Chains A and B, each alone.
Chain A
Amino acid sequence: MRSATEHKPPVRTEQIILFRASREIFAISSASVQEVRSVDSLAGAPVAVSEPTLKKIRHAIRRGDKNVYVVNTAIHFGLRPSPAALVFLLRKSRVALLVDSIEKMTTMTRLQALPGAFCNEEHAWYRGLTVIDQNVIPVVDPTGFLSGDELFLLDAATGSGKLTEAGGAAGAELAI
């Protein structure tokens, strides 16, 4: 005869990466991050993007025949830009994130929806909030960094000659 405890459903967990942007800590599902690279390793590859309405995008990385747009995470969240050291290339996405550093990798067991009192862009920014080591950490939504309209705008901008090969040129590095 089995004990009652054997019937408990296993706790579902999700691996997350805690990272810093402008000193603040965010979490992202590790499943949504395909690759983590240092900014230095991309210094020769990116191309410059100049789209005045999207100041959080200054570079794109060519991947096959498509651009992957590099989002400055601090600017996206309205924070003071800080020197970024890492780039997260997101899985199944045309978005890469400039971040300061990785704090640690850990597991979350519970995700609370953003309280209804938050009523602006943050609902697009975050999947919800989790508690790690008695700290409340926002869990970013990897689809919330660039909307379809913004991607369209960037593609149109880069297609109209605003994207210029900047590899190797002075100031072309991803560092802010």
Chain B
Amino acid sequence: MSWMDQADTRSCVLLRLGERRFALAAEQVAELAAPSRVFRFAHRTPEIDGVILRRGRVVPVCDVAERLTGKRLTSRRFYLIAARRHGKRMDWVAIPVSGQCELIQADLTPAGSSDSPHVGGWLSYAGEVIEVLNLNALMPASHLTTPGEGNIVPEVHAQ
């Protein structure tokens, strides 16, 4: 049972992307981090901007603003570090946000059949109806099974 299936009053984190606000379930949010150097290397996943180093972990940066609002962020004030479960593995992603985030309690309404896949539900807060994001639908995900399952491989092996 996912967190949306048991939706009622939940803790959510509000995040700002340009002029709009979105929400994520608080249990999916690890931390809010100050912008840091983005490392870029050759790859073929256009949704990913690069990676940042956070607490010894390499975290991909996924800018979802353009997809959600139609505009790229002109400034990145923070990275919202979120976790999503993908099978047995836990994936971490850094979402650039353009303003402060806010932890709230709100009543959630499950998404309807006509909602976009990235909408996990809705909440009403301060007179605003806000999309609760479904990270699994919003972010690219590898369907490949690799040794290490996305976690840190603590050792390297001489060939």
- Chain A residues within 8 Å of B, Cβ to Cβ: 11-15, 24, 26, 29, 31-32, 77-79, 108-123, 125, 128-131, 134-138
Q: Is B148 a contact partner of A110 (Cβ separation < 8 A)?
A: no
Number of A-B contacts (CB under 8 A): 115
Q: Is B51 a contact partner of A115 (Cβ separation < 8 A)?
A: yes
A129 CA / B154 CA spacing, docked (Å)? 12
What 1/0 flags go to B68-109 for Cβ under 8 Å of A? 000000000000000000100101110000000000000000
Q: Which residue of B lies closest to A14 (CB)?
A: B156
Q: Is B42 a contact partner of A24 (Cβ separation < 8 A)?
A: yes
A155 CA / B143 CA spacing, docked (Å)? 31
- Chain B residues within 8 Å of A, Cβ to Cβ: 39, 41-45, 47-48, 51, 53, 56-60, 62, 86, 89, 91-93, 139-144, 146-159
**A25: shortest Cβ distance to chain B, in Å?**
8
A26 CA / B41 CA spacing, docked (Å)? 9
Known: A77-B42, A112-B57, A117-B60. 16 other contacts (CB 8 A): A12-B156, A32-B159, A111-B156, A113-B148, A115-B150, A118-B140, A121-B44, A122-B44, A125-B42, A128-B153, A135-B39, A136-B41, A136-B53, A136-B58, A137-B41, A138-B41
Give chain A residues whose Cβ lies under 8 Å from the Cβ of B155. 11-12, 110
Q: Is B152 a contact partner of A110 (Cβ separation < 8 A)?
A: yes
Task: Please judge, given known A-B contacts A117-B45, A117-B141, A119-B142, whether A112 and B153 are in contact too, CB under 8 Å.
Answer: yes
Q: Is A78 a contact partner of B48 (Cβ separation < 8 A)?
A: no
A125 CA / B43 CA spacing, docked (Å)? 9
